[in-house]
Amino acid sequence: MTLDELKTGQSAIIVKIHGYGAFRKRVIEMGFTKGRKITAVLSAPLRDPVKYTLMGYEVSLRRSEAQLIEIIPINAHGTQEKIGSGEARATVEKGAMNEYEGRTHTINVALIGNPNCGKTSLFNLAAGATEHVGNYSGVTVDSKAGRCTYRNYNFNIVDLPGTYSLSTYSPEELYVRRYLKNERPDVVINVVDSSNLERNLFLTTELIDMDRPMVIALNMYDELERSNIKLDYETLGAMIGVPIVPTVSRNGKGVNDLLDAVISIFEECHTAVRHVHVTLSSDIEKSIDRLNEIIKSDDSVDKHFSHRYLAIKMLEKDKEVEEILSDTACYPRLRDVRDHELKRLEALHEDDVSAMIASEKYGFIAGALAETMDRRNFNERVTTQVIDSLVTNRYVGFPLFIFLMFIMFWATFSLGQYPQDWIEAGVTALGDLVRHIVPQGALRDLLADGIIGGVGGVIVFLPNILILYFFISLMEDTGYMSRAAFIMDSVMHKIGLHGKSFIPLVMGFGCNVPAIIASRSIESRSSRIITILINPFMSCSARLPVYVLMIGTFFSAHAALVFIGLYLLGIVMAVITARMLRRLWFKKDETPFVMELPPYRMPTMKSTLMHMWAKGYEYLKKMGGIILVGSIVVWALNYFPLKHQMTEEERIEHIAEETAQPDNQDSYLEMLGKSINPVMEPLGFTWRATVAAVAGLPAKEIVVSTLGVLYTGEENEEITETLEHRLTAPGINGKPDFTPASALSFIVFILLYSPCFATVIAIVRETGTWRYGAFSVLYNTAVAWLVAWCVYHLALLL
């Protein structure tokens, strides 16, 4: 709660003072300090300003200024007069003070840094979280929150997206800046890659301009030491007025020292903290001073940012800062002066002002490092160059990439087959046990066929999911994924996309939802939307159980080839769609390909296994969520209405008279499947296959659970065969529902048809319109039908 929300007559305890410069200094000098009691007395006739009593005297504040003072109300349920006096008042004030003690021992921390600086690894260590760490730009595309307790302080830690600056060039930069403005963290931890200080410290200069309480985590400090570079980080910290703490996020070294520094900054007792201006050239400083004076003269200016920062961003024509200042009285004059200064600077230097400011800041960084860094014994890292000469070679790069993909899919199927068989045997044994223990009836069928048969049919593929994510995690953590994007840029450009589009597309092999969100790192809107729309053609892990089931049943002799063929088919359809969209809908994209290629790093087995298990845990959560519910719904629709149980005499009479079966033999699910099946029959589908495909619309995992429920054998028959055997067993007409041709058609349709509900929602959110979500559902399903039809009839011919 902030002071402007305090009602007339209500008292509160001051918790924190936000804001910058003269305002913060003035209110603190006037007694607005932590733990001080303050009371709202009355509001002006127009409700602004408000008069308060503090330390026995009265003071007035505008509501815009009161918003910057965080409080805890003493009498949250009424005015001061309603509390009474004596013990009642003392009890209420004691409760507020207890809450104050808790709040003043809670530190809100924001982690900010460049991509690939080890920020998320540090977050996982400090907060005990399991967020995935990827050695390429764009892993953290949204903020992640975690908590930890240290020295009786509660830390609320937020891992913000990796960003190179605080401009509004990319969604990540805009997100970070808005977070700093709206959430106002108590301390910023600026995570800096020790092996790339000059580039990383540019973001630090922008945070210094903002005048935020900050500590620098000099991360990957072990790499700096191995290169024999000597850095006097204490002197560097004193020069820029920001404490610097060396850390190694791989093993947790320095994390406690970092948290100690955060506490000292929060308590405003760290001796190294001082506000330093990043001094620019005299011409630019003159322009900043002129703008700064105008901003200072207007009390209505937003106090969430420092005046100097606003002046610099005005000079850079930052759109969001101009929008913030556009409602102030000084804006017309500020804009005129800015335009005059821009003309003056450009006439003097014949260069863009933003480029001049960036150049001056890099000059400031270079000067500071020249005085504090000794590179005389520097050992240049050659490992990255040696590996790159192989993996990015024009002759070796592409075959190596295809080979790695083949190994990943081969291991997913072959190695995963052993634990899959064990789990499948356990599920079958559990189903048989339930059939023996539970009396015959609806409950037994629900437990054995609906829950165990449905959920068990999906859970057996957990090992395959874990192996797939293990390989994807290795490629991301080592830095190979960025090289894959590098060697694929020319290919992506030919289909009308950006090289950066490759990373979200590869991520789509794991899950389409985070892959679509990761497309935010693509600066070009047209490339971003095309990447989002073709991402569902990347075969996500949710489809993997369907592939393993069908390929293991019908194509086990050539499993790896069929696997990679399916993934290549999805890629081909994505390419065709991208070309069509670029030619018919979006203009040609000329966005330059600028992407960091981080050094190769050996991932820890712990981080790789944590990522693998995190994805496995999400898969298991689906077992108890949407897949369990879906399995029960499918079972109920397949079970009801209850079929007519004929006596032996009725059965003999029925056979003798050759009469039709009773009308109520079809379940609701069978009725649904048979009504839709005429559309799907040309693909070789039976009604059960059609129902399974329809059931997979919410989540693709439900396809296998639906098949597990539908293929449960005849009633009163003990079921010991696996689902694979039941798929190939003859049906009522003496023919199996699935043949190799229809099975291939089925998995191709599942590969290409409408994305799951979560993916459709992600498409709508990321594109900002439901039209693209509707397009994805209709277009993908039409493509799936057409391609599956071609595959089925071609397979019949062969």
Per-residue pLDDT tens digits for 570-610: 888 988 888 888 888 776 655 555 566 667 777 777 777 87
Quick one: pLDDT band at residue 744, thresholds 50, 70, 90? very high
**Is residue 82's pLDDT more than 60?**
no
**Is residue 20's pLDDT more than 70?**
no
d(CA 716, CA 714): 6
Q: Residues of 759-787 as b/e, b for ≥16 C-beta within 10 angstroms?
A: bbebbbebbeeeebbebbbebbbebbbeb
Higher pLDDT pick, 276 / 112 = 112
The one-letter amino acid at 182: N
Structure confidence at residue 400 (pLDDT): 85
Structure confidence at residue 751 (pLDDT): 92
Give 90's contacts (C-beta < 8 A, 6+ positions apart): none
**Is residue 614's pLDDT more than 50?**
yes
The one-letter amino acid at 270: H
Quick one: pLDDT band at residue 111, thresholds 50, 70, 90? very high
**Is residue 357's pLDDT more than 80?**
yes
Per-residue pLDDT tens digits for 430-472: 888 888 888 887 788 778 776 776 677 667 767 877 887 788 7
pLDDT > 70 in the chain, percent: 81
Mean pLDDT, rounded, for 619-634: 68
Alpha helices (H) along 520-647: 525-534, 544-554, 559-584, 605-623, 626-639
**Is residue 622's pLDDT more than 70?**
no
Quick one: pLDDT band at residue 531, thresholds 50, 70, 90? confident
Structure confidence at residue 93 (pLDDT): 55
Q: What is the DSSP string of 669-694?
A: HHHHHHHHHHHHGGGT--HHHHHHHH
Q: How far is CA 112 from CA 172, 243, 321, 378, 519, in A?
A: 11, 15, 20, 28, 20
d(CA 198, CA 200): 6
d(CA 733, CA 235): 85
Per-residue pLDDT tens digits for 669-711: 678 778 888 888 898 888 888 888 887 877 787 788 778 777 7
Out of 165-179, 203-217, 365-379, 603-617, the most confident range is 203-217
Higher pLDDT pick, 97 / 35 = 35
Structure confidence at residue 619 (pLDDT): 64
Q: Pick the closest to residue 627 from 706, 690, 691, 539 (CA basis).
A: 706
Alpha helices (H) along 267-352: 282-296, 307-315, 319-325, 331-349
Q: Which two tokens stand for residue 573?
A: 């359809």
Structure confidence at residue 717 (pLDDT): 43
Quick one: pLDDT band at residue 214, thresholds 50, 70, 90? very high
Structure confidence at residue 514 (pLDDT): 67
Alpha helices (H) along 211-306: 221-226, 233-240, 255-266, 282-296
Mean pLDDT, rounded, for 173-180: 84
Kindly report the pTM of this predicted structure. 0.66
Mean pLDDT, rounded, for 17-44: 80
Mean residue pLDDT across the chain: 79
Structure confidence at residue 261 (pLDDT): 93
Q: Which two tokens stand for residue 289?
A: 């001073």
Residue at token pair 């991208």:
578
Count the Cβ atoms, other than its own, within 10 Å of residue 583: 10
